[in-house]
Chain A
Amino acid sequence: MAENKGVLVLCETKEDKLASISTELLGGGRKLAGDLGQELAAVLVGSGVGNLAQEAIAYGADKVYVVDDPLLKDYQTDTYVPVLEKVAGQAMPQVLIMGQTSIGRDLAPRLAFRLNTAASLGCLELAIDPSSKKLLQTKPVYGGNAQAVFITGSFPQIATVRPKAMAPLAPDQSRKGEVVTVDAGLDASAIRAKVLEQVPEEVEGIKLEDAEVVVGGGRGIGSPEGFQQLEELARLLKGAVGATRPPCDNDWVPAGAQIGLTGKIVTPELYIAVALSGSSQHMSGCSSAKTIVAINKDAEANIFREARFGVVGDWKKIVPAFTEKLKELLAK
């Protein structure tokens, strides 16, 4: 039997480019491959994605597997799992990494079970153990209250990595690599779960994940009108509004505004947490913000253990006065 070797990165594409998560994974994967003294390979799956192979090489891949087929245009479990099974069989990697995205979340566990191996989802850090050469997979558990390091006993060791946990390399267009095309070999009749349509959410203004300033509101905001006040503050700071889960569940804000373990991950310069208690599940999605500011009426709220600056009091009094003062300061 052939020996497992190397690191394989699943590259997702977005608007005919490599998605940012993919360049991050190539950066992180390069380091892992270096520590193993082995190759870094990438796999591009989709329809009309072959021209991105050189970009993957520029970002660090030594070899790129391209699986191009009209049936692979949208992610579907029943097409991507067999394709990745095939590529994994051909590439025989020791490590297979993907993003903690709507694709990775669905694909990684199902593929792991198909390949009779295991996956860790939502990792913050991956490293090669110097003595055993095994992949150390660090991920939050208990909603972020703790972190666990897992080791997989079989190959490939599969992990998904959270956005922004790894850094891309500067692309080097002169890098050379090998491109291998793999035939998808799919049969449309094998698709049991079929994607009928994709509906993107409408975002006005800046996207939450890209915003430099995020104003996050919690259950204590109490109404959609309350969130309009947070919108005003966010607009002033050229930022975006996010929320904990209760405001989303209550339809005060769209579901896409949720930040946290089961929502979006944000890494702004400034996170202003208003009337939210700072549950570990919420903080999982925003604790990498450079500065966290808390506004909460309960001095004992956990958010004050997470924040750098805080004001204790009713947000209804604090937010308007804070917004006014900022307007004045920013006008200067």
Chain B
Amino acid sequence: MNMIVCVKQVIDPEAPPASFKIDPSGNKVVPPAGVSPVVDPYAEYAVEAALKVKDASGGKVTALSLGSNQLRDIVKKPLAMGADELILLEDEAFDGSDSWSTAYALAMAIKKIGEYDIIFCGREASDWNAGQVGSGIAEILGLPSVTLAEKIDISDGKARVQRKTDEGYEVVEVSLPCLITASNEIGEPRYPTIKGIMGAKKKEPVVWKPADIGVEAAQIGASGRHTKLHKLFQPVREGKCEIIEGEGPEEAAANLAVKLREVKAL
């Protein structure tokens, strides 16, 4: 089973909301000081999904990441978790992408990798929450796709995917090769082992430039966009919480109940 997992580096989404700031230019987020970037959490679930398939059926897992300023210690995490290879698409020409140009560049890199049975993505990245790159890659490569996977079983050259729905779940059978996006129900991403971390340290990622994947500058980055970011802003919060006190927690609790009745919230 040859698997490719798309992974990206993001600003830590669990950084305290109060530390979140937008650049005065109004279209960029200022990385919070002293908070290290991380691997996009949903992409980690995607890595976990691939490793689970590898545990069950064997195979090779290649992580693929697009971006600029990718910190090696961060983007190597999939290797430390158990992936076999890491390919980075790293070039300024990729900057200012939207879902289109991102999916296009990733799809062209996947074509160059050539051999794959399953491509994994996260259901949505924690920064721009677009939820599109997976489906986009599948469409560009003409592959069937199953989104929001909770569980994956492989047999007879097919994948049986439990897909999360608003009502519960559904079971989808899909022919290979295919693209799957992972939801958190896949299960907690495994911690890198010491051996994994040591192995990852020694392994150098392969770096590809636009020319290596045969794409023109006009198709990627800002030039390949179909959308324009018109505005980026922080919604204002009223933020006036009335703290209900009392002699001890029990009394405070009772006072809260009285208060909620008073203001007719109940």
Question: B-contacting residues of A (Cβ < 8 Å)?
Answer: 74, 77-78, 101-102, 105-106, 109-110, 112-114, 116-122, 136, 139-143, 145-154, 192-201, 213, 237, 245, 248-249, 255-256, 261-262, 269-270, 278-281, 290-291, 293-294, 299, 302, 304-314, 317-322, 324-326, 329-330
19 sample A-B contacts, Cβ–Cβ < 8 Å, listed by A number: A102-B163, A109-B135, A110-B138, A119-B132, A121-B132, A143-B13, A145-B234, A200-B167, A270-B266, A280-B17, A309-B244, A309-B259, A311-B256, A313-B249, A314-B249, A317-B250, A321-B249, A321-B253, A322-B257
Q: CB within 8 A of A149: which of B20, B166, B230, B258?
A: B230
Stretch at the interface among B68-76, B98-106, B194-202: B98-106
**B135 contacts A113, CB within 8 Å?**
yes
**Chain A residues, CB < 8 A from B242:** 308-310
A278-B18 Cα distance, complex, nearest whole Å: 11
A256-B164 Cα distance, complex, nearest whole Å: 9
Instruction: Count chain B residues whose beta carbon lies closer than 8 angstroms to a beta carbon of A.
Output: 87
**B231 contacts A148, CB within 8 Å?**
yes
What is the interface of chain A mostly: helix, strand, loop, or mixed? mixed
**A325 contacts B237, CB within 8 Å?**
no
**Chain B residues, CB < 8 A from A312:** 243, 252
**B175 contacts A192, CB within 8 Å?**
yes
Name the distance in Å between B94's Cβ and chain A's nearest Cβ. Answer: 18
A78-B170 Cα distance, complex, nearest whole Å: 15
**B253 contacts A113, CB within 8 Å?**
no
**Chain A residues, CB < 8 A from B113:** none
**Chain A residues, CB < 8 A from B136:** 109-110, 112-113
**Chain B residues, CB < 8 A from A314:** 249
CB contact list, B205-255 vs A, under 8 A: 225-235, 237, 239-244, 248-254
Closest residue of A by beta carbon distance from B170: A198
**B135 contacts A101, CB within 8 Å?**
no
**Chain B residues, CB < 8 A from A317:** 248-250, 253
